[in-house]
Amino acid sequence: MLILQNLSYQHENKSMLFQNISFTINNQDKIALVGNNGIGKSTLLKIITGKLQSYSGQIIQNSVPYFVPQLFGQFNDLTIAEALAVKDKIKSLKEILEGIVTEENLQLLDDDWTIEDRCGEALSYWQLQDLDLDKKMETLSGGQKTKVFLAGIMIHEPNLVLLDEPSNHLDFAGRKLLYDFIQSTSSSLLIVSHDRKLLNLLNKTFEMSKNGIAVYGGNYDFYHDQKEIENHALEQDVQSKEKALRKAKEKERETIELQNKLDSRGKKKQEKSGVARIMMNTLRNKAENSSSKLKDVHAEKISGISEDLRQLRSSLPAIDQMKFGFSTISFPKGKMIFRAEELNFSYKNQLLWKENLNFEILSGNRLNIKGINGSGKTTLIKIILGELKSKTGSITSLAKNAIYIDQDYSLLHNNKNIYDQAQSFNDCGLEEHDVKMRLNRFLFSQNDWDKPCSALSGGERMRLMLCCLTISSESPETIILDEPTNNLDLQNIEILTAALNEYQGTLIVISHDESFLEQIDIKESILL
């Protein structure tokens, strides 16, 4: 069991990242932890594991949790055995079996006589049977590093496992193993992920915000349905408040007009009746004070309604605040864009693909380049774009305007600020206010325009990239995306999905996210 009570975390600059986080994880709970990028999900996991210290609150737990991190750079100098914290046990086991039965070896082994067998079984389950425990972590791919730490769950058999984006680097086969493990394990799980297929295997959803945790008693689909109901109610509140604001402004105008008429009529009567000038001034001052009070009353009411409306609008999901506006130029359907004939590539004189590739991509096609890690998906993209030369065969390209967007959105220049980056795509002479209007559509307010691109999160980089594409005079005829959802939270995946569903050109995607591929209507594949 794990209990968090009023947990808060403060940055070094004294700003509060989150506060009042409270929840309980019971035995065999399988929980999704969701929330926008930057809200502190990974930080919370590190606090639970003791890697970071909270600002306030307390954690009550009856065992040490096992942590599968999102990033592995800090382990590069370690061997697999060291990263899994089994090196000393295995060394002691081997020495004992060789007759070196010391008190130290017995203490280190702690009666764990099956440790070496469990390591072998665990690595084999995760398809790492060819890896030696003495192999350095820095020699492994991202997917292999993830699997090493997933193997650690089977080795250490913890009661509670914390996983931070565990499917990020896994191919389809690796994800299938992960999904099967999640369904079969008896350990309690707390998982941060944007993989909706994975999230639907869990039985509770915790939504994290700056002010606490909202608990939903179901998987991601259940949570999503409940959020839609909540957001619909929020939209109704926004519309109601907008109506109230219009009525308040109209009432203010009518009241002031009526007061002005009454004041004017009274003044004329006073002039006709010969009221003394000093008395006229007194009456005029009273009328002005009365009008001023009326204005203050209405201004206060309007200000209150406006503030309520601002807060309601700020609570709307980002996707409901955005407008994409891709160029409406229609692309001719069925036109040949790319054709590969007997295509292959070689590394050190060894062909990359067992069979030469033959395929044709037509205008308007939506397809996925599919294959296990290391099968050459990104290499194929570079050949298609003319950045690499094939060893055999040929690639024919008739694409007039193809754009390649990798998972880091590297088309953005880190040395530029947001506004200058947007202007660099302004090839049709949009006025400055039009460019800024487009930035506002993609949730970049005036306070953001001077922010350097290097400081943007994955979701912000994606939104700025989409904004740039809508600023350009002509939408690209072909968009090629390489693992576009890897660094995005669920909200930003929805934004990207909505934008791609509005796009009418040819779409080529490398992704292992089956839910994402389904939602952007990918129906064809090139299998490597």
pLDDT tens digit string along 210-250?
778 999 999 999 999 998 888 778 777 777 777 777 887 77
Residues 6+ apart with CB under 8 A from 28: 186, 187, 188
Rounded distance, CA 60 to CA 155, Å?
24
- Helices (H) then strands (E): counts for the chain: 16, 19
Tokens read off for 393: 């065969």
What order of strands is seen across the sheet that includes strand 506-510? 402-405, 478-482, 506-510, 366-370, 524-527
Tell me what the mean pLDDT of segment 287-313 comes to.
64
Rounded distance, CA 177 to CA 124, Å?
11
Predicted pLDDT at 474: 78
**C-alpha torsion 523→147→132→185, nearest 10:** -120
pLDDT at 477 over 80: yes
- Cβ–Cβ under 8 Å, residues 414 and 453: yes
Q: 301: closest CA among 364, 380, 244, 223?
A: 244
Q: Residue holding tokens 């930080």?
A: 43
Q: 35: closest CA among 236, 238, 190, 233?
A: 190
Predicted pLDDT at 182: 96
- Cβ–Cβ under 8 Å, residues 454 and 484: no
Q: In which band, very low, low, confident or very high, does the pLDDT at 71 lie, cut at 50, 70 and 90?
A: confident
Tell me what the mean pLDDT of segment 441-446 comes to.
84
User: CA angle at residue 253 from 249 to 255, to 5 degrees?
Assistant: 115
- Angle at which helix 87-97 crosses helix 115-125, to 10 degrees, equals 130
pLDDT in tens, 257-292: 776 776 666 655 655 555 555 555 555 555 555 556
Predicted pLDDT at 285: 58
User: CA angle at residue 409 from 377 to 451, to 5 degrees?
Assistant: 170
Rounded distance, CA 71 to CA 65, Å?
18
pLDDT in tens, 74-103: 899 999 999 999 999 999 999 999 999 899
Q: At 35, phi and psi to the nearest 5?
A: 160, 160
Predicted pLDDT at 475: 78
pLDDT at 307 over 80: no
Residues 6+ apart with CB under 8 A from 424: 413, 416, 468
- Cβ–Cβ under 8 Å, residues 229 and 290: no
Predicted pLDDT at 267: 58
Residues 6+ apart with CB under 8 A from 330: 504
Rounded distance, CA 26 to CA 49, Å?
17
Rounded distance, CA 192 to CA 41, Å?
7
pLDDT in tens, 137-193: 998 888 899 999 999 999 999 999 999 999 988 988 999 999 999 999 999 999 999
Tell me what the mean pLDDT of segment 291-306 comes to.
66
pLDDT at 423 over 70: yes
339 SS3 class: strand
Predicted pLDDT at 269: 61
Rounded distance, CA 155 to CA 153, Å?
5
Q: At 411, phi and psi to the nearest 5?
A: -65, -20
- Cβ–Cβ under 8 Å, residues 191 and 167: no
- Cβ–Cβ under 8 Å, residues 169 and 10: no
Cα distances (Å, whole numbers) of residue 24 to 10, 33, 63, 439: 22, 13, 14, 41
pLDDT at 115 over 80: yes
Phi-psi region of 334 (alpha: psi -120 to 50; beta: other; left: phi over 0): left
Predicted pLDDT at 276: 53
- Three-state helix/strand/coil letters over 151-215: HHHHHHCCCEEEEECCCCCCCHHHHHHHHHHHHHCCCEEEEECCCHHHHCCCCEEEEEECCEEEE
Q: In which band, very low, low, confident or very high, does the pLDDT at 455 lie, cut at 50, 70 and 90?
A: confident
Give the mean pLDDT of the chain.
Answer: 85
Residue 464, CB half-sphere, CA atoms under 13 Å: how many?
31
Tell me what the mean pLDDT of segment 5-24 comes to.
89
pLDDT in tens, 353-375: 999 999 999 998 999 999 888 88
pLDDT at 321 over 70: no
Tokens read off for 373: 């890690």
Cα distances (Å, whole numbers) of residue 512 to 175, 176, 413: 8, 11, 27
pLDDT at 303 over 90: no
In this structure, the number of other CB atoms found within 10 A of the CB of residue 56 comes to: 12
Predicted pLDDT at 407: 78
Q: 65: closest CA among 184, 169, 156?
A: 156
Tell me what the mean pLDDT of segment 489-493 comes to.
84
Predicted pLDDT at 268: 59
Predicted pLDDT at 443: 81
Residue 386, CB half-sphere, CA atoms under 13 Å: how many?
7
Q: 374: closest CA among 355, 353, 350?
A: 353
pLDDT in tens, 53-67: 999 999 999 888 999
Rounded distance, CA 52 to CA 50, Å?
5
In this structure, the number of other CB atoms found within 10 A of the CB of residue 24 comes to: 12
Tokens read off for 498: 């909505």
More confident residue, 254 or 266: 254
- Angle at which helix 458-471 crosses helix 490-502, to 10 degrees, equals 20
pLDDT at 334 over 60: yes
Predicted pLDDT at 264: 67
Residue 182, CB half-sphere, CA atoms under 13 Å: how many?
23
Predicted pLDDT at 279: 55
pLDDT in tens, 338-348: 999 999 999 88
Lowest mean pLDDT, pick from 282-296, 424-438, 449-463:
282-296
Q: In which band, very low, low, confident or very high, does the pLDDT at 494 lie, cut at 50, 70 and 90?
A: confident
Predicted pLDDT at 406: 85
Predicted pLDDT at 252: 73
